[in-house]
A and B are shown apart, each in its own frame.
Chain A
């Protein structure tokens, strides 16, 4: 089954195309990576798909249903590129997760205990149980991104959108982050659409690659898309693919 179908999607701003005639689909349970240079429209594409910015033409379907329907929202998880929030916001990690706990586990309908158990299990899944009572503003980049993943999957979405979610996180943190994404994909069958500038990450973790430069330049497996020719077409003549040998795609 197709988790995501995008057809002829166009987004314009000030009479200029930000993305043009984008058509692609992603099968359920796959990890698809969107690559492209700065200004290629990667974030615009994800934001248009999840309804954060309007698109002029085209359509988006999730699991066979048009996504403009409000109820579809419950099946989407999203971790943005740079989470903008007030760092002095007096909010603990468990309170943040409590905002989005499904009503079936939620206080006051089922008591604090059930809500706590549910959020604890979720934090354990992302390796962040020790952060439960920490203030959200005191978390490091990597810790915050793990918490944001927990928040994104709290309603058990079928599809997770990650917009350069690990940028600004140190190498060890990035490794842990993508291992977590991979584990959620394998264990829960979660479809993941991610944007990354790190071609090694894409090569290691993605099943499908979408090369974008306002238009869709190519799609396919990492082996077929991350070639010198394609990279030069997408990023320009100065660029080429160099995949570290220790990160073999399995």
Chain B
């Protein structure tokens, strides 16, 4: 008990805990759509696009959070536009955008002079370095995202189930597709500081995939995925402090542990 209170007496731990709870709810909530629509590669491409945004921000002297979110949104919209307007497959478009963004980011970073610690905070993430303004940003994005997804839950789910049927029923599929891409891009970029560019997609996908292994209804899926997200965040953070390991990878590994347990449970059922 005294260990927990000592653990919570540090302001950076309290901030990290709050961030992991909020992101633990937010990312799987959005991640359910990513998993159900098989958009994991898209989410990966967006997180790596943020790398180009961070590099651009560093060379132009812009706030890195702002530059990463702007570039991620632009790449998300570009992927949506090219998939819609050309005969290229969605995968091909994503692959081209993905490698283009990485190459641009590497080129810019190569041109930067000196060591930039802030770049590494985005590349590998550091939940213990979360500031109060980061927390506020995550809070605002969480409230807005969850509110939008709940208000438009029916059309989003209809499109996820079958977009042709949704179109026949009068739903503006194009509008909701773009809105979802935009939401995914924003959620990924605000979560970057938790686990970094390389692992951020796992916050969206792994808890949602674990929940899908067990859920028998959409209601279960949303509740379970957020529950797994929060459990992974808190347990991973506590373990990382106790074992003196990096927080981001520990959170992700706990989440993957839950995924394998749910797989076992599903296999037995």
Which of A's residues lie within 8 Å of B, judged by CB? 50-52, 70-71, 73-74, 76, 78, 80, 83-86, 88-92, 95-96, 98-100, 135, 151, 155
Query: Which residue, of A76, A83, A89, has the highest number of chain B Cβ atoms within 10 A?
Result: A89
A90-B218, A95-B218, A99-B154 are known contacts. Are A85 and B161 too (CB-CB below 8 A)? yes
Residue of B nearest to A135 (CB): B216
Residues of B within 8 A of A51 (CB): 167-168
Instruction: Tell me if B162 and A92 are in contact (CB < 8 A).
Output: no
**Once the chains bind, are A85 and B162 in contact (CB under 8 Å)?**
yes
Min CB distance A60 to B, Å, is 13
A78 to B162, CA, bound (A): 12
Q: How far is the CA of A91 from the CA of B167 in the complex (A)?
A: 20
Residue B221 CB within 8 A of the other chain: yes
Shortest A50–chain B CB gap in Å is: 5
Q: Which residue of B lies closest to A154 (CB)?
A: B169
B197-210 toward A: CB 8 Å interface, digit per residue (1/0)?
00000000000000
Q: Which residues does chain A contribute within 8 Å of B217, judged by CB atoms?
A: 90-92, 95, 135
Question: What separation, in Å, do the CA atoms of A88 and B217 have in the docked complex?
Answer: 11
A184 to chain B minimum Cβ distance, whole angstroms, is 18
Q: How many CB-defined contacts (below 8 Å) exist between A and B?
A: 59
With known contacts A73-B169, A100-B169, A155-B169, A83–B216 Cβ distance under 8 A: no
Residues of B within 8 Å of A151, CB to CB, are 165
Question: Is B121 part of the contact surface with A, judged by Cβ < 8 Å?
Answer: no
**13 A-B residue contacts at CB 8 Å?**
A51-B168, A74-B169, A80-B165, A84-B162, A89-B36, A89-B161, A90-B212, A90-B216, A91-B157, A91-B161, A98-B154, A99-B158, A135-B217
Contact-residue size bin, chain B (C-beta under 8 Å from the other chain) = 20 to 34
Measured CB to CB, the nearest residue on chain B to A92 is B217
Residues of chain A with a CB closer than 8 A to B38's CB: 86
Check if B165 sits within 8 Å of A96, measured CB to CB. no
Q: Is the CB of A50 within 8 A of B218?
A: no
Q: Is the CB of B170 within 8 A of A73?
A: yes
Contact B158 A90 (CB under 8 A): no
Q: Which residues of A contact B221 (CB under 8 A)?
A: 90
Cβ-closest 9 pairs across A and B: A73-B170, A90-B215, A78-B168, A99-B158, A92-B217, A99-B154, A90-B221, A95-B218, A50-B168
What residue of chain A has the Cβ atom nearest to residue B155's Cβ?
A99
Q: How far is the CB of B260 from chain A (nearest CB, A)?
A: 17
A135 to B221, CA, bound (A): 13
With a 10 A CB-CB cut-off, give which of B38, B164, B212 has the most chain A CB atoms.
Answer: B164
How far does the alpha carbon of A88 sit from the alpha carbon of B221 in the complex, in Å? 12
Q: If the complex has contacts A88-B212, A90-B212, A90-B218, are A96 and B161 also in contact, measured as CB distance less than 8 A?
A: yes
Q: What sequence of 0s and 1s flags, for each residue 213-245 of chain B, a beta carbon within 8 Å of any chain A beta carbon? A: 001111111000000000000000000000000
B208 to chain A, nearest CB (A): 11
Q: Is the CB of A52 within 8 A of B161?
A: no
Q: Is the CB of B157 within 8 A of A99?
A: yes
B residues in contact with A73, CB < 8 Å: 168-170
Give the most central of B38, B157, B168: most A CB within 10 Å: B168
Closest-CB distance, B164 to chain A (whole angstroms): 6
Judge whether B158 and A100 touch: CB under 8 Å. yes
CA of A89 to CA of B37, assembled, Å: 10
> In the complex, which residues of chain A have a beta carbon less than 8 angstroms from the beta carbon of B212?
88, 90
